[in-house]
């Protein structure tokens, strides 16, 4: 019985994992998702990992989406035991052969002002704009956070 329950739980966890990956040239973007925390949210967070497999640094300058009025790059910092979000206006540098994870409590995307009901989508496409590369289209999964479960 314990073995059957373990297998069932493992299968349930595996089906909820996102394996999204975008690779353009020497740039790899994985685990791109937007956390939908509320059915009526005005503002949501976007998360992903970017790997720079180039021998030179790259600069992510901005992100845009035709379904969203504004997408900003933010960073969460703790100063004097106070957590605050800082809007990054001059982009984010990913060093040569390095990676950067946009995650909770660190760098993340702040998506504000949805032109359509985000609840109607399972995925949306965002455009990552670089200073020294062509823009890259990335499909972000919409992950719903249901606090009632």
Task: Say if 15 falls within a structural domain.
Answer: no
> Helix and strand tally (H, E) in the chain?
1, 11
CATH, residue 41: 2.60.40.1890
Beta strands in 67-122, from DSSP E residues, in sequence order = 68-79, 82-87, 92-94, 98-102, 107-114
Task: Say if 51 falls within a structural domain.
Answer: yes
CB-based contact 53:21 (threshold 8 Å): no
Task: Say if 98 falls within a structural domain.
Answer: yes
* pTM of the predicted model as reported, rounded to 2 decimal places: 0.82
Range of the domain at 113: 21-144
pLDDT-wise least confident of 2-6, 15-19, 40-44: 2-6
Which is more confident, 42 or 45? 45
pLDDT-wise least confident of 43-47, 56-60, 80-84: 80-84
CB-based contact 63:129 (threshold 8 Å): yes
The arithmetic mean of pLDDT across residues 107-116, rounded, is 94
The arithmetic mean of pLDDT across residues 91-118, rounded, is 95
pLDDT band at 61 (very low <50, low <70, confident <90, very high): very high
The tally of domains found in the chain comes to 1
Task: Say if 75 falls within a structural domain.
Answer: yes
Task: Say if 128 falls within a structural domain.
Answer: yes
Task: Say if 91 falls within a structural domain.
Answer: yes
Task: Say if 6 falls within a structural domain.
Answer: no
Q: How far is CA 1 from the centre of its chain?
A: 38
Task: Say if 100 falls within a structural domain.
Answer: yes
């Amino acid at each position: 019985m314990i073995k059957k329950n373990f297998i069932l739980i493992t299968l349930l966890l595996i089906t909820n994992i996102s394996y999204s990956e975008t690779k353009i040239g020497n740039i790899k973007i994985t685990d791109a998702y937007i956390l939908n925390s509320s059915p009526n949210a005005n503002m949501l967070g976007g998360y992903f990992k970017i790997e720079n497999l180039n021998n030179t640094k790259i600069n992510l300058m901005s992100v845009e989406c035709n379904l969203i009025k504004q997408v900003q790059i933010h960073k969460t910092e703790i100063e004097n035991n106070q957590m605050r979000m800082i809007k990054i206006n001059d982009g984010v540098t990913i060093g040569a052969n390095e990676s950067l994870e946009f995650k909770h409590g660190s760098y993340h995307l702040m998506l504000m002002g949805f032109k359509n009901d985000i609840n109607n989508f399972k995925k949306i496409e965002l455009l990552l704009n670089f200073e020294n590369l062509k823009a890259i289209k990335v499909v972000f999964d919409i992950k719903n956070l249901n606090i009632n479960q």
